[in-house]
Chains A and B, each alone.
Chain A
Amino acid sequence: MFKDHVKLAIKNLQHRMSRSLLTLLGIAIGIMAIISLMALGEGMQQAVTGELSSLSDVIVVSTGGGFFSSFGSGGTPSEYFTDRDIATVERTQGVRDVSTQLSASAFAEYNGKKTLISLTGMDVMVMTLQYSNQRLESGDLLTENDQNQIMIGYGIAHDTFEADVSIGERITINGKKFFVSGIFAKQGMSGFSSDSLVLMNSRDFKKLTGQSNISIIYLRVNDVNEVEPIAARIQDAINQNHGRKDFARATTMTSILETVQSIIGILQLVLVAIASIALVVASIGIMNTMLTSVMERTREIGIMKAIGATNQNIMSIFIIEGMLVSSIGGIVGIVLGIFGSQGLTVILNNFMMMGGSSNLAPVITLISVVLAVTVSLIVGVLSSLYPAWKAARMSPIEAVRYE
């Protein structure tokens, strides 16, 4: 019986081909939007996870408000780590590669204008770790052998002095000349902003300022599984050194990863929710088409009832029709979504500042495909339920009525 109903539904859809195709297109577009946005979200998720998990053995210890408030922001913290803190960190078991980020205020002069800047110094190894994914407007990252060279943020290059600074030019900092060897691209409002950064290696920093104001300590652990407990131990130990509970904060990439992932998760949900609107519109489209079809087929429905179709038979014929439209639409939508997500990625990579994630690739998961098929089937059933019920309620007398 089911097979007959499917056959009947297919014949009816073929009979009204252009209308069926248009209805189907609505569903296809809705599913396409969902598939491609989910693929994009998943791609972001994986890109970020991939980048950050390569740093999963890294712990960042910072003073005050934590990692996000001071990380590369160029802001000068008011408190610094002491040599004792460094020693504490180095003594901690399972720790290797301890390095530091230094901060100080300094006067910079270029083209006759003098201004106060905050200076950041770090080991080239740390610099590479932290900035290798960042887009550069021009120039290169510093290397181990570079001397008296600096990298500057977009804001320093273009908005701080009266004239733009470009690669190879010299900025005088605290009376000493430094060559600009790299300029970071514009970052905007993000917490990771490098716009006002003036970056040099720690050797030059110490020589220039005579200080070693450590605002951030970077370290690696030997065993990735130990990263969380070691971070906690270091944080406690440093806080004990200062007799305060909130002096330092040790952050692992894992916890950053979790935060970023949950942010992307929310973003993904919002995107899919927006895409779902298209699907709702499409399902109204199915309902509308089906209602028209029910009206047109009043006589046909009456005939079928007269020759013995039950209400359930009639309902199932119409519901199968709706499900066919929506599931074929869903499959077309999945295919379009696979292409659509590629297109979206190209657009995003070209026109948006994706920072380090410029090689974003869409990821179509099996779950998203299964979800799309399920959703389209449900949409098909739900949107044909009312028209089908209306059809089933029709009186068989309509069929024998003279016109």
Chain B
Amino acid sequence: MTNVCMYFQVHQPFRLKQYRVFDIGNSHDYFDDDKNHAVMEKVARKCYLPATRLILDLVKKHKGKFKVAYSITGTALEQFQLYAPDVILLFKQLADTGHVEFLSETSHHSLSFLHDKAEFKEQIAQHKRLMKRLLGVTPTVFRNTELVYNNELAKLVEELGYKAILAEGADHILGWQSPNYIYQPKGCSKLKLLLKNYKLSDDIAFRFSNKGWESYPLTAAKFADWVAPVLGDSVNLFMDYETFGEHQWEDTGIFEFLKHLPEELFKRKIGFQLPSEAAKLQPKGVLDIHNPISWADIERDLSAWLGNKMQHAAAHQLYALLPSIKESGNKQLLETWRKLSTSDHFYYMCTKWFADGDVHKYFNPYDSPYDCFIAFMNILNDIEGQLRPSDEKRWITI
């Protein structure tokens, strides 16, 4: 008999305007406030409020036997404060039950680990302060943006004092091994590694409402039947929180599914555990993961964010600006820069649309990845101009 470990990712980026070449030097207004407001209101109404109320009810009803973990990004928290403060109150109530765990991550949902380790640590620290201030908690388990992971990250996270880290249970790193055990990252002595069971997770997150799927419709009982025979110590169900009500709309029955899942699992003698509890289990073995993996697309690599020349150029130029921004001591500009470091902007520039097209397109606020790149680069130019007003065209050369 195993336990289920559920973690939900809560994230909203600060989407950018169609910032034009003509705006460079004339406007430092980069973010599409109207759109961000509208999206937050919509997702709060469809997902964050009803789903969190339901989880709160379930935690109370099952008196702590049902428990889940969340990872909430700083950019989401900031937008809750701006546009949907009730959501924070609900999360605070969840935190106060003592049965819900909150994970650590970068404040701005960035891929800074890949580009600038010092900045990576600062964003983790910023997130830590935010969690303490808003929810009164101090996370002990770390999850990196997009579940990007490798040995080097594990080592760094162990040094920061965390007990465990999450990653994708990608086939190409597991081989014959099962994602349903706890592992130890190579080079670590204390840190534990929890791997996502992507098959069972995606049954809920992606396939739930797919009428062409042979298992449609998915009920809590059916799902519990699939979990029951699983061998292992922890079935890790990791998914976007927006699965509940936003990616899978209410009329698909996703809330009913969630509502009945705990009792169906209990009937089959399966319990719930939090990531920090799973981290106390004995590791089954050591996993050696050198090349970064992630939870995206079929490749499970970095190609959704750093796959083409535009993405590389944008990342390069973005991080090239950071030292001068930090030197300038301009706090506001640093915060703006950090909002630009959010991985979503790079995801929108992805051009490998055709294999995984629909998912990318659904989330893209731009007409095309090319339009996103133009806006992003124009903004970097404007920031460059702010830093060096006398030399505005330093790297715009044609």
A and B are partners in one complex rather than unrelated chains: no
B interface residues (Cβ-Cβ under 8 A, vs A): none
